[in-house]
Amino acid sequence: MSGGRVLLVAVLIASLCLNVYLTVTLIQLRSDYRRLEEGFRELAAQNENLTRQVKSLRSLLEVVERQLDYYRNQTIYYSSLIGETGGVSGSLEGRAVVNVVAVKAIPYGFFEVKYEGVALKAEVELREGEGRVLVNTEPRIGIDLQTSSRVAVEVAEKYTGVSLNRTDVIITVRGEEEVEVVDGPSAGLAITAAIIAAITGENLSSSVYATGTINPDGSVGPVGGVAEKAVAAAEKGATMFLVPKGQATIVVYEKKVEEPVPGFKIIRYIPKKVSLQSYLEGLGYHVKVVEVSSIWEAYSLFKPSP
């Protein structure tokens, strides 16, 4: 065999070995790439789940913080709720219905909960009695109205100058289904308006909704879940939505998706301040949002337009 043929055979053998090596390497690289791609997808899914959980926890934290503020204030004033009220005394009879909005908890996936607004009806009935405040729900609604209802009675007495010490106040909250409501005190403003209407014999508008705690001095306190409640009210045909002072502006979380490398997405929710009214308009609802600071400012807005 000539030297040229030997060299050619050697080159062919070397080329074959190199091709085998490159093929094995390519197969290994493709396998590694698939594993990395699967890992990226898993991390992206975990990131989205964690981000969603954080958003849900932020909503719950806002609601709980507002409730803690409310109950802290009631602790300070609680001794005054025993019922020393001046003004006209005697038993009364009356009835009024008002819209109530709250936030309900909904199971979402494994160990996750999301929060949505829910619209309810509250009926206030005045009967001759002993000054008791009775709260019922139909069907079962996990809502705490006892403390806020007692404050509402006191404020209604101050507003009208009428004592209810010989009148029982019966409050019945009605919903379309059994729900677990997480923010009962936020119905205080609406309940107060209904008690006043029952005393005075006035009607309340069926298209006005409100959220806000009520304090013994008649001031309206802040609440959580304003956006969720506003949407629930809008879905029921609200034309006006009353909110505590400073809460006509809300924080919404815009979804932002980033893809630093192909196949790996990072999802973040960026906080952004917007007006509640424009937020509702963006969803196709036309609701007038009005801030109120006290029952004296709010009550006239509950009444039907002339």
Closest CA to 94 of 63, 43, 129, 120: 129
- The catalytic position among 104, 163, 219, 229 is 229
Closest CA to 219 of 90, 15, 102, 73: 73
Known active-site residue 229:
yes
Cβ atoms of 70 and 221 closer than 8 Å: yes
Residue type, 175: G
Known active-site residue 278:
no
Calpha distance 121→117 (Å, rounded): 14
Backbone angles phi, psi at 274, to 5 degrees: -140, 160
* Three-state DSSP state, 276: helix
Calpha distance 150→264 (Å, rounded): 55
- The catalytic position among 148, 149, 186, 219 is 186
Calpha distance 189→99 (Å, rounded): 11
* Three-state DSSP state, 287: coil
Calpha distance 234→240 (Å, rounded): 9
Q: DSSP letters of 33-92?
A: HHHHHHHHHHHHHHHHHHHHHHHHHHHHHHHHHHHHHHHHHHHHHGGGGG----SB-S--
Active-site residues, by number, are: 186, 229
